[in-house]
């Protein structure tokens, strides 16, 4: 794949163009079938060679500069993430192969991204979607599993949906970034919320819906986005129905009304229900 040109729509974390209005026109799907990025010259001799390690774990195709076999459990977990999202969110499976590029060293990762995407801000891991299928990039660290689950969640959403509101995109990625056994009860965000006196001043969904740029998403916004996702998935059947319906309309290219309005119309005393869920949610 050639470098990203200035006129290509970028679906990185700072997706600006299609986040102007949740109910705005839905963008068309990107074309599938793009050739995976090459193993670049600076990594091996003067010619471009195949990646040292390639492993297919549908819907993902992993490319690495180190042996992935010790991480087979994580790769299988990422593959099963699609099934979990289908079951919980009722979205279609990915319509494209998602290429994931992983590096042993952060320095190699940074050099690689500067080679292919020199205009992008550097992050520890990222999801990029141009005119073809989405790509995930990450380097090995003590957050390796979390980073891959988070970015692969973005990739799976955008492999089947033409747009996702920024706050919901990040809230879902925060939910699915922890191992499956921790998602319902043991996400660090839940402990964080309970340590802080937020019950009298919780973040309304309308406030999150106003966030249009990734740079405006700070720690509090990530936490609050996660909390609304958790409420919809575990706290209220009507809220879960509305979430699925909302995503279904996007999938069918029907511009939906804001999710906050749908929930408020469906659930009496929505904010009270949301706060009560987070305050009292515990293992039985």
Whether 143 and 57 share a structural domain: yes
Whether 126 is covered by a domain: the verdict is yes
Q: Residue 276's domain spans which residues? A: 180-280
Q: Across all residues in the chain, what is the average pLDDT?
A: 83
Q: Which residue has the higher pLDDT, 19 or 255?
A: 255
Whether 34 and 156 share a structural domain: yes
Whether 21 and 119 share a structural domain: yes
Whether 271 and 134 share a structural domain: no
Whether 23 and 149 share a structural domain: yes
pLDDT in tens, 215-266: 889 888 999 999 999 999 999 999 999 999 999 999 999 999 999 999 999 9
Number of domain units in the chain: 2
Whether 23 is covered by a domain: the verdict is yes
Q: Which residue has the higher pLDDT, 60 or 204?
A: 60
Whether 23 and 51 share a structural domain: yes
Whether 226 and 143 share a structural domain: no
In which band, very low, low, confident or very high, does the pLDDT at 37 lie, cut at 50, 70 and 90?
confident
Query: HSE (CB half, 13 Å, CA atoms) of 19?
Result: 24
Q: Which residue has the higher pLDDT, 181 or 1?
A: 181
Whether 153 and 203 share a structural domain: no
pLDDT at 154 over 90: yes
| Phi–psi pair at 140, nearest 5 degrees | -65, 135
Handedness of CA 130, 177, 54, 51 (dihedral sign): positive
Whether 198 and 126 share a structural domain: no
pLDDT at 51 over 60: yes
Angle in degrees, CA 161, 225, 16, rounded to 5: 50
pLDDT in tens, 92-136: 999 889 999 999 999 999 999 998 888 888 899 999 987 778 899
pLDDT at 45 over 50: no
Residues 80-119 as b or e (16 or more Cβ within 10 Å = b): ebbeebeebbebeebebbbbbbbbeeeebbeebbeebbee
What is the CATH number for 44?
3.40.30.160
Whether 74 is covered by a domain: the verdict is yes
Whether 123 is covered by a domain: the verdict is yes
Give the residue from 138, 163, 188 where a domain finishes: 163
| Phi–psi pair at 81, nearest 5 degrees | -60, -35
Whether 2 is covered by a domain: the verdict is no
* Full-model pTM: 0.84
Whether 133 and 185 share a structural domain: no
Give the orientation angle of helix 237-251 with respect to helix 259-266, to 10 degrees: 140
Whether 92 is covered by a domain: the verdict is yes
pLDDT at 34 over 60: no
> How does DSSP classify residue 233?
I
Whether 117 and 190 share a structural domain: no
pLDDT at 20 over 50: no
Whether 193 and 141 share a structural domain: no
In which band, very low, low, confident or very high, does the pLDDT at 36 lie, cut at 50, 70 and 90?
confident
Give the pLDDT score at 91. Answer: 96
């Amino acid at each position: 794949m050639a470098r990203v040109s200035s006129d290509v729509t970028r679906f990185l974390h700072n997706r600006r163009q299609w986040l102007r209005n949740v109910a705005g026109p839905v963008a068309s799907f990107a074309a599938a079938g793009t050739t995976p990025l090459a193993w670049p010259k600076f990594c091996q001799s003067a010619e471009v060679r195949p990646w040292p390690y390639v492993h297919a774990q549908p819907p993902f195709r992993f490319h690495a500069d180190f042996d992935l076999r010790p991480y087979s459990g994580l790769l299988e977990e990422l593959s099963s993430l699609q099934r979990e999202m289908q079951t919980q969110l009722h979205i279609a499976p990915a319509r494209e192969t998602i290429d994931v590029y992983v590096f042993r060293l952060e320095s190699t990762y940074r050099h690689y991204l500067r080679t292919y995407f020199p205009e992008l801000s550097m992050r520890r891991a990222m999801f990029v979607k141009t005119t073809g299928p989405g790509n995930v990039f990450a380097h090995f660290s003590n957050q390796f599993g979390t980073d891959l689950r988070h970015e692969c969640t973005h990739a799976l959403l955008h492999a089947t949906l033409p747009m996702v509101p920024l706050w919901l995109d990040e809230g879902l990625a925060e939910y699915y970034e922890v191992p499956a056994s921790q998602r319902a009860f043991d996400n660090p965000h839940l402990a964080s919320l309970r340590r802080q006196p937020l019950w009298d001043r919780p973040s309304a969904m309308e406030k999150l819906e106003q966030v249009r740029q990734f740079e405006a998403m700070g720690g509090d916004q990530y936490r609050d986005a996660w909390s609304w996702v958790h409420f919809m998935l575990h706290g209220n059947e009507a809220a879960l129905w509305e979430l699925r319906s909302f995503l279904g309309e996007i999938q069918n290219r029907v511009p939906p009304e804001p999710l906050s309005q749908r929930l408020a119309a469906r659930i009496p005393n929505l904010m009270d229900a949301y706060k009560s869920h987070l305050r009292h949610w515990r293992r039985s």
